[in-house]
Amino acid sequence: MRYMAFAHPYHNQADSVSVRFGNKWADLRPGEYFLLTKVPATPDDERGEVVGKAVCHSITICRLCDVPKKLLYKEHDPRAQDRAGLHAVLAQVYPGIQQNDTVVVVRYTVLAISKELKSEFSWKDDSRSIVKE
């Protein structure tokens, strides 16, 4: 199973989106499961504390400036739910990212989330199972 690392692991809704720089996630397939991890380093680090499990719904490959607005409001990090915020957040994680750079927009459902994240980020759906106690 793959690991999707988050420098900012906000997840307060089950149906979420994460925008990833480059093509690393371009081969993710609908129905594929992956683990959500929390790392203090770069989001490309394959290691980190597992904080959840998710399943991919779809991916969209596009330029950063072309991320569909209908997907922005589902961005997992609330600071990145508009174009300016998305660029600002991604620039913190991927220094030098430009509006014309290729990104992969991963739309997924969080199947399980850690108790700590549920509490810290006001999880909106209490029906999800808890990864760790």
Q: Report the distance separating Cα 81 and Cα 99, nearest Å.
A: 15
> Which pLDDT score is estimated for 44?
56
Q: Report the distance separating Cα 84 and Cα 133, nearest Å.
A: 36
Kindly write down the DSSP assignment for every residue of 87-104, as one continuous string.
HHHHHHHSTT--TTSEEE
Residue 38 CB partners (closer than 8 Å, separation 6+): 5, 6, 9, 48, 49, 51
> Which pLDDT score is estimated for 27?
97
Instruction: Name the 3-class secondary structure at 130.
Output: strand
**CATH tag, 2-120:** 3.10.400.10
Q: Report the distance separating Cα 17 and Cα 26, nearest Å.
A: 14
Q: Are 99 and 65 spatial neighbours (Cβ–Cβ below 8 Å)?
A: yes
Residues in the chain where the model's pLDDT stays below 50:
121-123, 126-133
> Which pLDDT score is estimated for 5?
86
> Which pLDDT score is estimated for 46?
56
**Hey, what are 5's tokens?**
């690392």
> Which pLDDT score is estimated for 128?
46
> Which pLDDT score is estimated for 38?
81
Q: Report the distance separating Cα 65 and Cα 83, nearest Å.
A: 7
> Which pLDDT score is estimated for 55?
94
